Amino acid sequence: MPRSSLRLPRTRRLVRVVVVVLAAAVMTPVTTARAAGFYDPPATVSATPGTVLKAESMAFYLDPLRTLRSTARATRVMYATQDRAGSPIAVTGTVLVPPVPWIGPGQRPVIGYAAGTQGMGDQCAPSRQLAAGSEYEGAFISGLLTRGYAVAMTDYQGLGTPGTHTYMVREAQAHAVLDMVRAAQRLPGTGLPAAGPVMLAGYSQGGGASAAAVELAPTYAPELELEGAVAGAVPAELGAVAAHLDGSLYSAFALYAVAGQSAAYGLDLDGFLNARGTSVIAAVKAECVGESIALHAFTRSSDLTKDGRTLTELAASEPFRSIIADQRIGRLEPKVPVLVTHSVLDDVIPYAVGRGLARDWCARGADVAFSSTITPTHVGGAVPSFAKEYAFLEARVAGLPQVSDCWWL
């Protein structure tokens, strides 16, 4: 055991043990040989964003033992999208369609669902975890399917496919979400309307992706019939979130951001990280979230840098300052109703960040509902967020107006 681990308080060591056990139990996807080959992209991608490059049927299981199989028609897809700079890339994802006809008003809606933090290793991709029964958001996705919605769930850039996952890179995540919806609408044999209603949803990393997507949709995907978006626990100000995470139980999330941002911007970290820092960043690129939390809990960024500066101190200087500024969400006005949810007791993403996003959108004239809860922790806050999300989506389908909360924010 590393000497640094021996210096941790007993409670911290206990937390690590518990998380390791949980991670080993539920966070190790099973990948078939057939699926593994599917994730190899073509040598070049020249298709327009949203074009389906290949597809194959798959199973969606609700438990790690794979005894509970969803009745939804599940299809694994590879589709064309763009990275943050607008270069064409291939990304994978999943299209899920209920087995029964849509009985609501109008046509069956497609929910562009953005997954929360999965990790950075290719084995952590949502499409792989849905097939393995280890996707922690599987029950909520099943709830969407039960309500008759189709679900289009991206794996994001570099998660499943080659390359580093561009974790919390605003434009890359938004493109992946919107082009996943386009791909679902173009996928043959699903019965989905080519120009039907679309809604977006996500929590945590997914909340950031959903929020970024609803901001960019009017210019990036103006043809989509977007009706609304839910963004839960949004890391809208990455600098504030990273400062909060540094040295905490969830230090791994900040490490993911360092790895993902540097990859997206072609930033060489050798001039900033010491040997331990280089080793840690290399390690998280191959891990899923449970493993990363267990192995890197309470890691202080000052122990990873050559000069002992923290992430917060590095973020105040270039090139980090400009990179982090690029990820700011809230500078563009969503053109459809949005619901922002956040727990006052969130221990990962500060409540003030989520409420600040709602205020920013209100100031730009958006139709914003803000739902705060007092459910403890980031994970706990997801449960009431999902309940609010269902109600929000159903109201949009019914054509009901949203009551804005901007007056009190």
Q: Please give the pLDDT value at position 36.
A: 65
Residue 7 has pLDDT above 50, yes or no: no
Strand order of the β-sheet with 52-58 is 52-58, 73-82, 88-97, 150-154, 110-114, 197-203, 225-232, 338-343, 368-373
Helix (H, G, I), strand (E, B) or coil at 60: coil
Q: Please give the pLDDT value at position 30.
A: 42
Model pTM greater than 0.85?
Answer: yes
Task: State how far the Cα of 15 lies from the Cα of 11, in Å rounded to an integer.
Answer: 6
Q: Could you tell me if 246 and 311 are in contact, meaning their C-beta atoms sit under 8 angstroms apart?
A: yes
Task: State how far the Cα of 114 lies from the Cα of 238, in Å rounded to an integer.
Answer: 18
Q: Residue range 306-315: average pLDDT?
A: 94
Q: Residue range 271-286: average pLDDT?
A: 97
Q: Which CATH architecture has domain 3-26+238-325?
A: Orthogonal Bundle (1.10)
> Torsion angle of alpha carbons 125, 138, 209, 190, nearest 10°?
90
Q: Could you tell me if 356 and 249 are in contact, meaning their C-beta atoms sit under 8 angstroms apart?
A: no
Comma-separated ranges of CATH 1.10.260.130 domains in the chain? 3-26+238-325
- With cut-offs at 50, 70 and 90, classify the pLDDT of residue 99: very high
Q: Could you tell me if 33 and 297 are in contact, meaning their C-beta atoms sit under 8 angstroms apart?
A: no
Q: Could you tell me if 401 and 372 are in contact, meaning their C-beta atoms sit under 8 angstroms apart?
A: no
Nearest alpha-carbon partner for 163 in 121, 197, 196: 121
Comma-separated ranges of CATH 3.40.50.1820 domains in the chain? 33-237+328-397
Task: State how far the Cα of 368 lies from the Cα of 353, in Å rounded to an integer.
Answer: 15
Q: pLDDT for 340-399, tens place per residue? A: 999 999 999 999 999 999 999 999 999 999 999 999 999 999 999 999 999 999 999 999
Nearest alpha-carbon partner for 8 in 244, 246, 281, 299: 299
Q: Could you tell me if 169 and 148 are in contact, meaning their C-beta atoms sit under 8 angstroms apart?
A: no
Does the domain at 33-237+328-397 match CATH 3.40.50.1820? Answer given as yes
Q: pLDDT for 375-387, tens place per residue? A: 999 999 999 999 9
Q: What share of residues in the chain are helix, strand, coil (percent, to 5)?
A: 40, 15, 40
Return all residues near 145 (Cβ < 8 A) that are at least 6 apart. 70, 72, 96, 98, 151
Q: Residue range 233-254: average pLDDT?
A: 96
Q: Could you tell me if 111 and 201 are in contact, meaning their C-beta atoms sit under 8 angstroms apart?
A: yes
Site of tokens 């289009």: 152
* Phi and psi angles of residue 407, each rounded to the nearest 5 degrees, phi first: -65, -30
* Phi and psi angles of residue 53, each rounded to the nearest 5 degrees, phi first: -90, -35
Tokens of 28: 């190790």
Residue 91 is classified by DSSP as E
